[in-house]
Amino acid sequence: MTDLAALFHLHVADRQRTSEEALASTEFETLVISSGKVYTHFADDQDAPFHPTPHFAHWCPMAGPHHVLVIQAGHRPRLIRFAPEDFWYEQAPLGSPFWAADFDLEEAGTVDEVWRRVGSPSRGAYIGNETDLAERAGLVPNPPLLTAHLDWHRTTKSAYEVQCIEEATVIAARAHKAARAAFLAGASELEIHYAYIQAAEIVDHEMPYGSIVALNEKGAILHYEGKRKVGNGAVLLIDAGAQVRGYAADITRTMAAPHCDSRFTALIAGMETVELQLCDLVKPNLSYGDLHHQGHLRIAGLLQESGLLKAGPEEAVEKGLSRPFFPHGLGHHLGIQVHDVAGRQGSPDGTPAPPPSMHPTLRTTRTIEADQVFTVEPGLYFIPMLLRPFRENEHRGLFDWKLIDELTPCGGIRIEDNLLVTATGHRNLTRPHLPD
């Protein structure tokens, strides 16, 4: 059985070390991080679902707004818990969580009392969205250089963080299997979503991101979040995850019903092979930009094999012929945020890691290093607006437009796993729980 308290103790020691390094590098003495305040919709009295300040969640899994951490070199971290007496909303008792022993824990019944306890530390920096209170305390809010240092260290995951992601993966995998069964039984997008939520044993706002449950042509909309009531789809693309103690799993699968066009079913099988080949390439010191480029080459090869393109992989990628079929990045860092930070940082001070010239808009350009967790998610879509210019330009003869038009109603394909980079290669966190 996993000893969460022991893993978390090492995690906090790591946070203390990296925070002290960040403070020393930026000439601050104190770091104050709040869990944040609730966002209220404009001209309304309804609040958005609360998401804690990610840097607070990196230190502590305690839920709720207005908690504050105070971090100084050579001192145990202070955690000031906002614990109001309230009858409008449930205020659950803290109890004895596994993480509490690693903080000097205080409680305050009002926001003013929380910040009275923070005081006005000299040369203090603040991270969060309660900037008015931070400025009143004499703190520098969200200094970019310090934030860059903290973001940089979030991309290296501790054993505790990996444990959280793996637990989230178990939940997501169980829910993906339930969604697949519902799809094959003829369920609608809405019913498939309900099957996922029920199997994950959560409500919608507890998901790390809005699920994508796309039947047929809707799979070509990259961030489709509709939930149609029409069922018996030929193709399902489902991108949905789960989260545990603030850490996310992010998994995508595409599957065909028995009545799907056999040529599209073969494309799904080909993309499964491509995705696993790309996962096999992952190891330290490889540029993520180079991995992305390999994605284009392998997808272009599949397009040629299937007859969609009449050019070889190198020619297709050089001429941009694979881009309308694969218009997004191969993946992103994963952790507290689904699209985790510092994917384009080249160093702790925020100096950018430039993208490769052929792929200038990538969100992930880092050199791959041990203990990073990121997604590998190649896609192949039939998107009319992206293909339209190629029907008229000098490359139009390199496409089989009849086949493209016949497969366009099938939408698209995306397959996504989450990988932990190891010293010698990687460990796929998804496949042991969702092998296909």
- The CA-atom distances, in angstroms, between 268 and each of 34, 176, 186, 301, 323 are 45, 17, 19, 14, 18
Per the CB < 8 A criterion, the answer to whether 271 and 254 are in contact is yes
Token couple for 388: 């339209």
Q: Which DSSP state fits 424?
A: S
Nearest Cα residue to 121 out of 176, 179, 181, 73: 73
Reduced DSSP (H G I as helix, E B as strand, rest coil) percent helix, strand, coil of the chain, to 5: 40, 20, 45
Going by their DSSP bridges, the two strands 417-421 and 426-428 should be labelled as antiparallel
Q: Taking the complete model, does pTM exceed 0.85, yes or no?
A: yes
- State the Cα–Cα distance between residues 219 and 239, nearest whole angstrom: 10
Residue spans of the domains in the chain: they are: 4-154, 159-428
Q: Which DSSP state fits 370?
A: T
- State the Cα–Cα distance between residues 290 and 287, nearest whole angstrom: 5
- In tens digits, the chain (436 residues) has pLDDT values of 689 999 999 999 999 999 999 999 999 999 999 999 999 999 999 999 999 999 999 999 999 999 999 999 999 999 999 999 888 888 888 999 999 999 999 999 999 999 999 999 999 999 999 999 999 999 999 999 999 999 999 999 999 999 999 999 999 999 999 999 999 999 999 999 999 999 999 999 999 999 999 999 999 999 999 999 999 999 999 999 999 999 999 999 999 999 999 999 999 999 999 999 999 999 999 999 999 999 999 999 999 999 999 999 999 999 999 999 999 999 999 999 999 999 999 999 999 999 998 899 898 999 999 999 999 999 999 999 999 999 999 999 999 999 999 999 999 999 999 999 999 999 999 999 999 9
Nearest Cα residue to 37 out of 125, 160, 129: 129
| Assigned fold of 159-428 | Creatine Amidinohydrolase (3.90.230)
Q: Which helix (H) or strand (E) holds 126?
A: strand 124-127
Per the CB < 8 A criterion, the answer to whether 371 and 302 are in contact is no
Neighbours of 70 (CB within 10 A): 21
Helix/strand/coil for 426: strand
Per the CB < 8 A criterion, the answer to whether 128 and 51 are in contact is no
Q: At what angle do helices 159-184 and 189-200 cross, to 10 degrees?
A: 140
- State the Cα–Cα distance between residues 375 and 417, nearest whole angstrom: 6
Task: State phi, psi for 295 to the nearest 5 degrees.
Answer: -60, -45
Top-level class of domain 4-154 = alpha beta
